[in-house]
Amino acid sequence: MIREPNALDVLYLIAAGRWTLALTALAFFGGGLMGILVMLLRIAPAAPVRWAAMGWIQAIQGTPLLAQLFVFFFGFAIFGYRVSPWVAAGVAFSIYASAFLAEIWRGCIEAVPRQQWEASAALGLSFPQQLRYVVVPQAFRIAIPPTVGFLVQLVKNTSLASTIGFIELTREGQITTGATFRPFTIYGIVAVLYFCICFPLSQLSQRLERRLHVAR
Amino acid sequence: MIYQFNFRDVFASIDMLLEGALLTLQLSAVTMAWGLAIGVAGALARSWGPPPVRLAATAYVEAIRNTPLLIQLFLVFFGLPSAGIRLDANTAAVVALSVNLGAYATEIIRAGVEAVHKSQIEAGLALGLSRLQVFRYVVLFPALKTIYPALASQFILLMLATSIVSQIAAAELFHMASILQSRTFRDFEVYIVAAAMYLAMALMFRALFALIHRLAFGR
């Protein structure tokens, strides 16, 4: 039976927003850990290691996230694992985020002037020591604005998890639309909710970036 | 249980996927043209327009950049009919993708426009060009040259994002892949092959954009 949308629907949509946030956090955490590893491999002194990392990044950045989601969703099943949408989405989004974060962070590492590397090498620091004590502390500041910017992309892209049955903001919107048949109203509200999450983050990213430019 | 990979069924219907890839290329090309047009107009409005126009352009950019493409697509395809605008899936896909890309392109091109030195604009005005002529002849080309790499990678991201319009059953590669999946039940194989085709297209676009860069801006 088709019913009118009411205040409770809005409340349910807001409540579903927390799963969007939870998936974003999971992807950011998993993707961040993997991203650090990929980034380190990407700047490693040994060339074959760098190529492997580059291949990984190319493969992830060159295929649609939707395809990655489906490959992981069905991929677990063929190895005999029956996984929940949580696991499939968490793994797929972490892998997706790892490639992008690795590239962003590599850019930040490379933005640190070459002389800093040379000076620390001249002081007898090893490669890990150079990273740990000289380069990363400087790159960290540069990395914050684009990382926050990527977080916005991540929040928006979690909407694709709805396609594998993960219940978050978009999926809840689809369910509510099914019950009320008011797509314009419901998706409008969903869009506003996404905007409420993303807009402060993008503003923060821009402000941080401006402050960084002033400081330098 | 050891899974037996079976690509035979997929390759038996590879024509379907190739046709889908062609549709994706078509859809991407049309959207890129629209997105570029909207982007140039938006950049002009955002940095050179009168205040109300500026505000409208900023609102457009922020609204699009802070909401998911999937929701924008649903609003166009499922939402607009209640406002009396009924679009078929393919048209809705082009509209939603163009509007989406247009916002990103606006922001990118605006950055290039603002990087053009003030003295260039003043020189143009001093030569008696109108503001629009200055934008057209003095600002636009160097601006596009500056931001070309950013725009090119945004275009490639767009090409990958066209897969999302499969959710409203618009004709493109991912939609074809899901039809093939429902026929063969070879989920994993179908999507791996589709992903490989997207990768090939992304690399192709990258090469094409590099070529255009060489031809248009020279070296």
User: Higher-confidence residue: B7 or A64?
Assistant: A64
Q: Read off the pLDDT of residues B188-209 as tens digits, 9 standing for 90 and up.
A: 889 999 999 999 999 999 999 9
Which amino acid, B211? L
Give residues with Cβ within 8 angstroms of B178, minimum separation 6: B166
DSSP A159: G
Backbone angles phi, psi at A79, to 5 degrees: -90, 15
pLDDT at B185: 84
pLDDT at B187 over 90: no
Read off the tokens for A19. 């799963």
Quick check: is B37 in a domain? yes
pLDDT at B2: 65
Q: Do A67 and B194 count as a contact with CB atoms less than 8 A apart?
A: yes
In this structure, of A76-80, A192-196, B42-46, B163-167, the range with the lowest mean pLDDT score is A76-80
Task: Give the dihedral of Cα atoms B56, B62, B63, B64; nearest 10 deg.
Answer: 110
Nearest CA in chain A to B174: A67
pLDDT at B1 over 60: no
Q: What is the ipTM of this complex?
A: 0.90
Containing structural domain, residue B164 = 26-172
- DSSP per position, chain A: ------HHHHHHHHHHHHHHHHHHHHHHHHHHHHHHHHHHHHT-SSHHHHHHHHHHHHHHHTS-HHHHHHHHHHHHHHTT----HHHHHHHHHHHHHHHHHHHHHHHHHHHS-HHHHHHHHHTT--HHHIIIIIIHHHHHHHHHHHHHHHHHHHHHHGGGGGGGT--SHHHHHHHHHHHH--HHHHHHHHHHHHHHHHHHHHHHHHHHHHHHHHH-
pLDDT at B154 over 70: yes
Number of structural domains (chain B) is 1
Q: Do A187 and B78 count as a contact with CB atoms less than 8 A apart?
A: yes
How far is A153 from B77, CA to CA, in rounded Å? 23
Read off the tokens for A33. 């850990």
Read off the tokens for B136. 């057209």
Q: Do A63 and B67 count as a contact with CB atoms less than 8 A apart?
A: no
pLDDT at A216: 55
Which amino acid, B36? L
CATH number, domain of B57, equals 1.10.3720.10
Rg (CA), chain B: 21
Q: Do A170 and B72 count as a contact with CB atoms less than 8 A apart?
A: no
- Classified as helix, coil or strand, B50 is coil
Chain A residues within 8 Å of chain B (Cβ atoms): 58-59, 61-68, 70-71, 74-75, 77-80, 152, 156-157, 159-160, 162-163, 170, 173-174, 177, 182-184, 187-188, 190-191, 194-195, 198-199, 202
**Torsion sign across C-alpha atoms B47, B49, B52, B57:** negative
Q: Read off the pLDDT of residues A12-30 as tens digits, 9 standing for 90 and up.
A: 999 999 999 999 999 999 9
Give the confidence band of B13 by pLDDT, cuts at 50, 70, 90.
confident
Residue A34 CB neighbour total at 10 angstroms:
18
Give B-chain residues touching A170 at CB under 8 angstroms.
68, 70-71
Quick check: is B12 in a domain? no
Backbone angles phi, psi at B117, to 5 degrees: -70, 145
Read off the tokens for A180. 């009320």
**Torsion sign across C-alpha atoms B3, B9, B15, B17:** negative
Share of chain B above pLDDT 70, in %: 99
Please give chain A's pLDDT, 216 residues, in tens.
678 888 888 999 999 999 999 999 999 999 999 999 999 999 988 999 999 999 999 999 999 999 999 998 888 877 778 788 888 999 999 999 999 999 999 999 999 999 999 999 999 999 889 999 999 999 998 999 999 999 999 999 999 999 988 999 999 999 999 889 899 999 999 999 999 999 999 999 999 988 887 655
DSSP B217: H
Q: Which stretch of DSSP H or E encloses residue A151?
A: helix A136-157
Quick check: is B147 in a domain? yes
Give B-chain residues touching A79 at CB under 8 angstroms.
3
Domains located in chain A, CATH noted:
7-215 (1.10.3720.10)
Buried b (16+ CB within 10 A) or exposed e, A163-186: bbebbbbbbbbbbbbeebebbbbb
pLDDT at B219: 59
Q: Do A156 and B68 count as a contact with CB atoms less than 8 A apart?
A: yes
Q: Who among B67, B82, B167 is closest to A184 (CB)?
A: B82
Quick check: is B10 in a domain? no
Cα–Cα nearest to B42, from B126, B94, B80, B99: B99
Per the prediction, chain B carries an average pLDDT of 92
Quick check: is B178 in a domain? no
From residue B46, alpha-carbon distances to B49, B118, B199 in Å are: 6, 16, 34
Which amino acid, B148? Y
Q: Which stretch of DSSP H or E encloses residue A89?
A: helix A85-111
pLDDT at B53: 96
Q: Who among A78, A177, A194 is closest to B67 (CB)?
A: A194
